[in-house]
Amino acid sequence: MQKYKVPDMTCGHCVQTIETTIKGLDPAATVACDLGHKEVTVATGIAADRVAAALADVGFESEILAR
Ligand SMILES: [Cu+2]
């Protein structure tokens, strides 16, 4: 399970953007956003660096906590 810290994820709209972006990379991905902790948990076969790069492209810098 991949885990990311996403400090700029502050509301439901951010969550929507993040989910849509990750599912755009991998439609089979499972994405869980924890707004309180600003953490995103992802189950996917896509490399964490690619997921982080896609999030950066839509304005969300992230720190990979688990790959
Ligand atoms: Cu937002």
pLDDT on residue 24: 98
- Three-class SS state of 18: helix
Cα–Cα distance between 54 and 63 in angstroms, integer?
Answer: 13
For 16-61, what is each residue's pLDDT tens digit?
A: 999 999 999 999 999 999 999 999 999 999 999 999 999 999 999 9
pLDDT on residue 54: 98
Q: How far is the CA of 45 from the centre of ligand 1 (A)?
A: 26
User: According to CATH, what is the number of the domain 2-66?
Assistant: 3.30.70.100
- H-type helices in 1-67, by residue range? 12-25, 48-57
pLDDT on residue 39: 98
Q: How far is the CA of 12 from the centre of ligand 1 (A)?
A: 6
Q: Is the dihedral of CA 62, 65, 66, 67 positive or negative?
A: positive
